[in-house]
Structure 1
Amino acid sequence: MSNVFQLHASNPGGFTRMDNDLYGALIRADLSGRELRVALAIHRQTAGYNVPSARIAASYIAEMANIHREDVSRIIGELLRQRVIYREGGSKAPIGVSPANEWRIDAKNNRKTTTKKEPQCGVSTTSLVAFPPHNKDTNTSTTSDEVVVDAERQPDASPEKVSRTKQDACPHRAIVDLYHEILAELPGVALINKTRIQHLQSRWREHEAHRDLAFWREYFESVKASNFLMGKVEGRFGTKPFRASFDWLIAPRNFVKVVEGNYNA
């Protein structure tokens, strides 16, 4: 039995049209499974009703995509940052899917292919028996007691540990320098104390995209573009305007708010 059905305007179930270029772009997009589900939910609630954008509650997307409400807010922020979707204003403004040529998606599947190493043993051409290598063919070192030690098993020769340490190392000073360069009008940072180091390290490690100084430059530039965060908006009832600080910007909850544009403006 065929699973292909002809869709007509009188179809009681309805259907959503999708531009072929957009369809192809979504197939090729290096998005995570949850990011793709949220993007499709937004497309369903916009193109499905013949509108370019719409006000869609995160709770509604969570129900459609079967994802927790808190995770949906974070994923929306990631899709906004990667320009897959856009907002027409603040956090409650209409949202829609951006043209594919504007997307700036993070490279996720960047695992390098490596050639498989040949086994260090002699193989007979006339049998399937593998013979152990001769001592001269192994990478060994000798201790003072003339005991042969395999150098490859020494703990200091682990490239995985070296690369992991390098990857997780957060350039605290470079991030602070970017803050001073871009946000010179905000309070300066005189001391990089333990608390600030911990917050920066957490923000650096929590997502692959954050482990790039280009991300932090864009982050601080988005702060500079906000009159509210720069202290240029008068407070309510004549109170002193709010002005962001370095500690406020790197705190977990505030960091997410700024990335998603979900702060009181």
Structure 2
Amino acid sequence: MTNIVSIDKSRGFTRMDNDLYEALIGADLSGRELRVALAIHRLTAGYNQGAVKVAALYIAKMMYGSDEAAEKERANVSRTINDLIRQRVLYRDGGSRDPISFLPCNEWKLDPKRTVLKSTQSVKKTHATVLEITHIKERNTNLTANAVVAAVAPTATEVETEAKDQDSTSPDQPEASKAERIPFNRIQDLYNRICGDKLPQCLKLNDKRKANIRKCWNLDINGDKPFRKSEFWEGYFNDCLTNKHWTGENDRGWRAHLEFLTREENVLRVLEGA
């Protein structure tokens, strides 16, 4: 008796190049990134195509089934596609409506991950040892004022200071107000770190820039506030860099800046893959 399962050719099957197969097995991708990559492979190799024009909504439907779930996850899928393009797993020459394909595995530039064990204090002044992940994909942990915006790790002193600030809050202050405290400076630092080589540095957060960031923080999409998630700002800024017009490839040499990228109409364009 053999353990080899034969392929039922009557149902069809998709071949996968061995190098690609082994690269996907060994790649440090998030679950969503791997599922998107497999969907792209199904739509290219599965139909004997080198590249395919496909909307994020269609891939979301493949991943989540129902139209309602696909619509809710479309922005996340679009961001994941752009993240795979940035890491050179996928390639697309143009905008979101242009064909997409895989790059050779030896050209992939996957984001490194590293973990740091740090001893600090919790808000209640109880000693704790926490695992701080400075770059991790697809975490669903919501940010609060003393949380880490992806890959911008605070020092132990900063965490302690924020804990003291949290304790010094008036007991009469509503809980919702505490939860909506916004880490403006860390978002500014994250923008400068990711976009500073291609876009103008943000030297100061004035009232208008803070107002835009506050709108992003409170932006509600299908009952979710994505900009309160630890990885979302990093993914969003990386997505913005895929727009060639915004990075200076235009007849004026104009480049986008933090204030422009946090305007609601531009945020929605990026999230919708327009």
1:72 Cα deviation (Å)? 2.2
Structure 1 distance, partners of 2:38, 2:205, is: 45
| Residues 1:195 and 2:211 are matched in the alignment | yes
Q: For residue 25 of structure 1, what is the amino acid of its counterpart?
A: A
Residue 127 of structure 2 aligns with which residue? 158
Structure 2 distance, partners of 1:154, 1:195, is: 27
Q: 1:161-240 alignment to 2 at 5 Å? A: 165=146, 167-168=148-149, 170-171=185-186, 174=189, 182-183=198-199, 192-193=206-207, 194-196=210-212, 198=214, 206-208=229-231, 210=233, 223-227=246-250
1:88 Cα deviation (Å)? 2.5
| Residues 1:254 and 2:266 are matched in the alignment | yes
1:84 Cα deviation (Å)? 1.8
1:230-257 CA distances to partner (integer Å, 9 max, x unpaired)?
55xxxxxxxxxxx855323124663474
Question: What is the SS of the residue equivalent to 2:101?
Answer: strand
Residue 17 of structure 1 aligns with which residue? 15
Q: For residue 89 of structure 2, what is the amino acid of its counterpart?
A: V
1:142-165 CA distances to partner (integer Å, 9 max, x unpaired)?
xxxxxxxxxx9995463558x794
| Residues 1:94 and 2:99 are matched in the alignment | yes
1:25 Cα deviation (Å)? 1.0
User: Between the two proteins, what is the percent identity of the paired residues?
Assistant: 37
1:27-60 CA distances to partner (integer Å, 9 max, x unpaired)?
1112122221111010011011222111123232
1:209 Cα deviation (Å)? 7.7
Question: What is the SS of the residue equivalent to 1:79?
Answer: helix
Residue 121 of structure 1 aligns with which residue? none
Question: What is the SS of the residue equivalent to 1:64?
Answer: helix
Could you tell me which runs of 5 or more consecutive residues in structure 2 were left unpaired when the two chains were aligned: 133-144, 150-182, 219-225
If you compute each CA radius of gyration, which structure gives the higher value, 1 or 2? Answer: 1
1:171 Cα deviation (Å)? 3.7
| Residues 1:81 and 2:86 are matched in the alignment | yes
Question: What is the SS of the residue equivalent to 1:18?
Answer: coil
What RMSD, in angstroms, separates the aligned Cα atoms of the two structures? 4.7
For the structure 1 residues 259 and 22, does the alpha-carbon distance in structure 2 shift closer, same or farther, using more than 3 Å as the test?
A: farther
Structure 2 distance, partners of 1:94, 1:224, is: 21
Give the number of the structure with larger relative contact order, counting CA–CA contacts within 8 Å between residues 6 or more apart. Answer: 2
Determine if contact 2:79/2:239 at 8 Å carries over to the other structure: no
Determine if contact 2:95/2:243 at 8 Å carries over to the other structure: no
Structure 2 distance, partners of 1:228, 1:88, is: 19
